[in-house]
A and B are shown apart, each in its own frame.
Chain A
Amino acid sequence: MTDLQWFFINFFQALAAGLLVGGIYGLMCVGLGIIFGVMRVVNFAHGDFMMLGMYVAYYLFTGFGVLLFLGPYAGPIVAAALAGPIVFVIGWLLHRYLIARVTGTRVVSAEAEGHYTQIILTLGIALVLENGGLILFGSKPLSVQTPMSRESWEVAFIFFNQARTVGFVISIAFAIGLYLFLSRTNLGKALRAAADNPIAAAYVGVDVDRSHGIAFGLGCGITAIAGGLIASSQSFQPYIGFDFVIVMYAGVVLGGMGSILGAFWGGLTIGLVQQMSTLILPYQLQNTAIFVVFLLIIFFRPRGMFGRVWERT
């Protein structure tokens, strides 16, 4: 084959890989987007909830093998899905006992000072989760090994990694489900009301602190599912969280902070950027590429592609 043909194959290969990873990143970003959208809290520990999701999926399927009976195909998927409710509970508890003390109705007035304590509190939580993870899980890189991790479907010279393809499809399904939940159910509408205007929502009878707890848990759970899905095609260790915090924020900012749908597209774009960057940059620098893109977005279009103007001057 000629060089040009190789270039096109590589290009489409990277495009395909980017789309597949991007779909999972999209779901991950939606989790973070819910938290920011509803609570206006910048959660630095979010990558660590994803890390927890990875380990939950790992222990359910590979570690303790509880789900082995489901077979090598359904097992990892169910494990990832179960990571959702488990991490939801962890997130809800952390919100209830720590984060709620510096967010919500109590601090609605103290705008600037509120942000400052929230950012630092979640940084503290991130450090505890990461290093607690190191204590509990050890530093050895792990991954959820399934037959699909190594297998690919080949379509016109382009390889689609099976684990990633399945992860992609399931991510989309979860994202659509979440969208329906937020737009169709009363609880979802209450969450969106609390996001729109916490004070007005409180006046019409929405329990804002309860909504925040649910939103925080939900955001963590959704991202944990994405983590569980990606765990079958990527190795991980307890320190993986901070890398992904930047990945996720890049997606959320790109989609427009506060827009949940936008977060999905933002995450998808970031996945594409990450994989396409390998066409011109060394493999080790793919995360650097994301950070650079993240900085460029923040500088030139901090409102993102779908963002609402919510920051008042």
Chain B
Amino acid sequence: MSAQRRSLMWQYIAIGVFAVVYLLVGFVVRNSYYQLIMTLVLIWATMGLSWNMLSGYSGMISFGHASFFGIGGYTMTIAFVDFGITPWIGIPLGVITGVISGVIIGVPTFRLRGHYFALSMLAYPLALLYVFEWLGYQEVSLPMKRDAPALYAQFSDPRVYMVLALGLTILCMIMSLHVERSRFGMSLLAIKQNEPAAEAAGINTLRWKMMAMMVSAGMAAAAGGLYALVLLVVTPQTMFGVLTSAQALIFALFGGVGTFWGPVIGAAILVPLAETLHAELGHIIPGIQGVVYGSAIIIIILLAPDGIYWRIRDRLMQRRLGAPAPSLVPEPIAARGADTGRARSSPGQPLLRLDGVSRAFGGLKAVDDVSISVVEGLVHGIIGPNGAGKTTLFNVVNGFLAAGAGHIDFAGAELVGLKPHEICRRGIGRTFQVVRAFPRMTVFQNVIVGSYVGAATDAEAERLAFAALERVGLADQQANAIARGLTMKQLRLMELARALAPRPRLLMLDEILAGLGHDELEDILRIIRQVNREGVTIVIIEHTMQAMVKLADHFSVLDHGKLIASGPPAEVVRNPAVIEAYLGKKWMDRAKNTVA
């Protein structure tokens, strides 16, 4: 059994133990008020899991999960009150409307980032709140069905509700667990840590975010439906109010972001605390719950911004120092190494052709009418002084920036207008001038994110990632190291491996040698040459000439956005225009004078 399977099994056992213990406690407790609190803990845990699914994993902070909670609750209630539909059907109906509203909200809102996203998510439930008040749903009670209570999910024993809520929570926990362990969760994690890098690694970020939104909205709607069923009454303020959205976020953050245990821990601690205080002091101090939640979030964000779960885990890890972290590297791999790529088409023919490509920022022409042809199988160096437009050119080729004019042809297909992940999919990998790592993921996880685009299954992705790590020499001890602690050279190699993992035909390296010492530089040059010998075409940016002369077969020189020279290295370095661009005219004249 692989390490991953084993760890999955342990998680299942832990969830099972949690469920059994919770049930036992629930059946021992006699006081119906405590039973209600135990049910509420589970409903809010589900709500926290819902928030965690979107915001915890992908990092897009939502302040508006009350939208889905309220839609789920109101759908069930309206179906019941106005149409006599039993909650057994009403709650699933609510989940469906919740998911649909998730899509409707997601389509426009995912164009936004950071605080714009958070702000607009806050606006949706507030807008809905007024709409529902205006529609006359200020306070809707569920009618009692005394003739057939079970048919309408009405039970005199509150423990039945607790069992229902427990079932929902466990379901959501298992879903979250599987998301965490799959390419879905890995892609969300990559988006959270560095969205451009995720795009460049071939991840369709919009698609995964939308999936997360749909799953998340469904969970929140189910929680809302169950909440309405348990409390027997809905009001716009309880369903759509800011406190509802805030609670979802608070439980997840307090317990631990990005793990399905977090929201459960958070709700289990905070809900009883706030409810008890409210019951004991609510008549004297009416807002006590909100103060507790608000203070909890202030304290946690200042002292342990990742939440209790991670704090405890880090402590335990420290105590067991020396014991290796659970391995995520697949054990024996059949096709170890020797797997260097797809079939190559035509060495010697142009693979990438830029034709009159331009890109301006306001009045500044960063790239100005550049035409370059990259021959398959060669190392093509793009050189030029600082600010010459080299990185901008890369960003245009791999889709981060739209070309203002011109065409880019890669293996016979037009690239202009494609998104970065689509371009990656066609076989272009890249590294960045400033390393774009996913800092909290392991080296192996960093690389596997890159390999999904070239792999049909998760197992194949693991294989590709491992092969890429072997190619750059990081396969052994470093594979399980956290990226944040790596040296510059290891980071560069890791990024190289991530770009290599899906077996690209063309690799674009942006100053991969920057910030390295002489020996390290030689190591990386050796690896790049090896990769090139295995058939990968390389375009590399550098502004140090020495390294480039040793590496490149062909030079293109940019200055002020224009292509000023192109040809074999020996020829280009003697070109007066190139020397002038590098040294300036005054120095050129002086050099001439000394020679003469």
Contact = CB atoms under 8 A, between A and B. Distances in A.
Most buried by B among A127, A288, A298, A302: A127
Contacts of A299: 108, 111-112
A121 interface: yes
Contacts of A130: 287, 290, 294
B116 A302 contact: yes
B287 A120 contact: no
A294 B130 contact: no
B52 to A, nearest CB: 14
Interface string A70-84: 000000000000000
Interface in B421-474: none
B175 to A, nearest CB: 24
Contacts of A210: none
Contacts of A127: 243, 246, 290-291, 293-294, 297
A121 B118 contact: no
Interface residues of A, number: 48
B286 A294 contact: no
A108 interface: no
A166 interface: no
A145 interface: no
A187 interface: no
A242 B290 contact: no
B176 interface: no
Interface in A114-137: 115-117, 119-121, 123-135
B114 A115 contact: yes
A302 to B, nearest CB: 6
Contact of A134 (B249, B253, B290): B290
Contacts of A37: none
B253 A120 contact: yes
Given A131-B287, A135-B285, A292 B127 contact: yes
A112 interface: yes
Contact of A112 (B114, B124, B302): B114
Contacts of B287: 130-135, 238
A242 B123 CA distance: 10
B294 A285 contact: no
Contact of B115 (A101, A115, A132, A238): A115
A43 to B, nearest CB: 10
Contact of B112 (A138, A302, A313): A302
B288 interface: yes
Interface in B532-562: none
Nearest to B127: A291
B122 A246 contact: yes
Most buried by A among B113, B126, B249, B287: B287
Most buried by A among B118, B301, B305, B400: B301
B44 interface: no
Contacts of A131: 287-291, 294
B131 interface: yes
Contacts of A116: 59, 61
Interface in B27-62: 59, 61
A139 interface: yes
Most buried by B among A44, A112, A124, A243: A124
Is chain B's interface secondary structure helix, strand, loop, or mixed overall?
Answer: helix
Contacts of B123: 246, 291, 294-295
A263 to B, nearest CB: 15
Contacts of A112: 59, 114
A245 interface: yes
A101 B400 CA distance: 34
A243 B295 CA distance: 21
B291 A128 contact: yes
B126 A124 contact: no
A253 B305 CA distance: 28
Contacts of B253: 120
B571 interface: no
Contacts of A282: 134
Contact of A298 (B119, B126, B305): B119
A284 B130 contact: yes
Given A135-B285, A294-B123, A117 B118 contact: no
Interface in B248-295: 249, 253, 285-291, 293-295
Given A134-B290, A298-B112, 15 more contacts: A98-B302, A112-B114, A120-B301, A121-B301, A121-B302, A126-B294, A127-B294, A130-B287, A131-B287, A131-B289, A131-B290, A246-B119, A246-B126, A291-B123, A311-B113
20 contacts: A42-B119, A112-B59, A116-B61, A124-B294, A124-B296, A124-B297, A124-B298, A126-B294, A130-B287, A131-B290, A131-B291, A133-B287, A135-B286, A139-B286, A242-B242, A243-B126, A288-B131, A298-B119, A298-B120, A313-B400
Interface of A: 42, 44, 98, 101-102, 112, 115-117, 119-121, 123-135, 138-139, 238, 242-243, 245-246, 249, 253, 282, 284-285, 287-288, 291-292, 294-295, 298-299, 302, 311, 313
Interface of B: 59, 61, 63, 108, 111-116, 118-120, 122-124, 126-127, 130-131, 133-134, 242-243, 246, 249, 253, 285-291, 293-298, 301-302, 305, 400
- In the A-B complex, list the 3 residue pairs whose CB atoms are closest, starting with the nearest: A131-B290, A127-B294, A131-B287
